[in-house]
Amino acid sequence: MRRRLILGNWKMHKTVSEAEATVQDLLDRMKDYRGPYEWGIAPPFTAISALRTLREGTSMLLGAQNCHPEPQGAFTGEISVTMLQDLGVDFVIVGHSERRHIFGEDDAFIARKVRAVLDHGMTPVLCIGERLEEREQGHTEAVVKHQLLGSLAHVSPEEIPRVVLAYEPVWAIGTGKTATPETAQEVHAFIRTVLRDLGADAEEVTILYGGSVKPENVTNLTRMPDIDGALVGGASLQSQSFAHIINAAFPNA
Ligand code: PEP
């Protein structure tokens, strides 16, 4: 059975005290949750340690938004997988479109991160997704396939189910434009065919949707057979809306 996940990506938001206040409120709201979804937050690096203490004994997963693949070295400003493992991090977002398009990360670099996260016992949450012009030119499947093959280059077919995928069409991130459930489902189903072609047990791979997920649209998105949860940016910043999203996700497990 593949995992069902609702994960929040806080991006570059919240000081340590703001992060603590939000998570404390979120934990209060989620304490009686018995649904099928696992849930977690990827705060900025600066708040990971404080949230580790707060989430102790709870079901909240703790994530990081990025990593460097090397365990240590002369990489000013970077954070290694070893450091994240030391902080008790459960999952690491890799290949987010903001990393790809603002910071110029390519599939080869992302593939090294995926490998390093797996090697350190954490879950990579690998983001893939096309830009608006690529969709308009009919290149969505080619782009997604290319990103998948490149980013999974160092993962064996047997290990692929340890990677969580997040399909995030770039045109839907932070724009308020959500892909329709049917559009997202089509790409998720395509992703499973690519994984199958790679020799993986595609039915065991968790594939999240990301891009302007909100309490109002999460039910219909997660109702789709190949959408196993969501990666949520803006709407995860408020505890009320994030708790609402987790509770409204379709209980299809
Ligand atoms: C994201 O940052 O991964 C994301 C999906 O953002 P938003 O929900 O704000 O579109």
Question: What CATH number did the domain enclosing 14 receive?
Answer: 3.20.20.70
Q: Which residue's CA is the closest to the ligand 1 atom numbered 1? A: 233
Question: What average pLDDT does the segment 103-119 reach?
Answer: 98
For 114-126, how does the pLDDT look when each residue is reduced to its tens digit (9 = 90+)? 999 999 999 999 9
CA distance 169 to 11: 17
Instruction: Count up the domains in the chain and report the number.
Output: 1
Answer yes or no: 168 catalytic.
yes
- Between the CA of 233 and the centroid of ligand 1 the distance, in Å, is 3
Give residue 209's domain range: 5-248
Whether 9 lines ligand 1, by a CB cut-off of 6 Å, is yes
Q: Torsion angle of alpha carbons 225, 226, 232, 233, nearest 10°?
A: -130
**231, 151, 164: which is closest to 198 by C-alpha?**
151
pLDDT bracket for residue 252 (50, 70, 90): low
Ligand 1 nearest atom to the CA of residue 172, by list position: 10
* In contact, 184 and 224? CB cutoff 8 Å: yes
- Buried b / exposed e over 47-61, threshold 16 CB at 10 Å, is bbeebeebbeeeebb
Whether 47 lines ligand 1, by a CB cut-off of 6 Å, is no
- Residue 201 CB partners (closer than 8 Å, separation 6+): 157, 160, 161
Positions of E strands within the chain: 5-9, 38-42, 61-64, 91-94, 123-128, 164-167, 207-210, 229-232
Q: Which residue's CA is the closest to the ligand 1 atom numbered 2? A: 233
Query: Is 253 among the domain residues?
Result: no
For 197-213, how does the pLDDT look when each residue is reduced to its tens digit (9 = 90+)? 999 999 999 999 999 99
Burial class (CB in 10 A: 0-12, 13-18, 19+), 1: exposed
Q: What is the pLDDT of residue 253?
A: 52
How many residues are given for the chain?
253
CA distance 229 to 208: 5
Query: Is 179 among the domain residues?
Result: yes
Measured from the Cβ of residue 108, the count of other Cβ atoms closer than 10 Å reads 11
Query: Is 114 among the domain residues?
Result: yes
Query: Is 29 among the domain residues?
Result: yes
For 215-249, how does the pLDDT look when each residue is reduced to its tens digit (9 = 90+)? 999 999 999 999 999 999 999 999 999 999 999 99
C-alpha atoms less than 13 angstroms from C-alpha of 214 in its C-beta half-sphere: 12
- Helix locations, 43-173, DSSP H: 45-55, 81-86, 97-101, 107-119, 132-136, 140-151
Mean pLDDT value across the chain: 97
CA distance 209 to 128: 10
CA angle 155, 157, 163 (to 5 degrees): 55
Is the per-residue pLDDT at 99 higher than 60?
yes
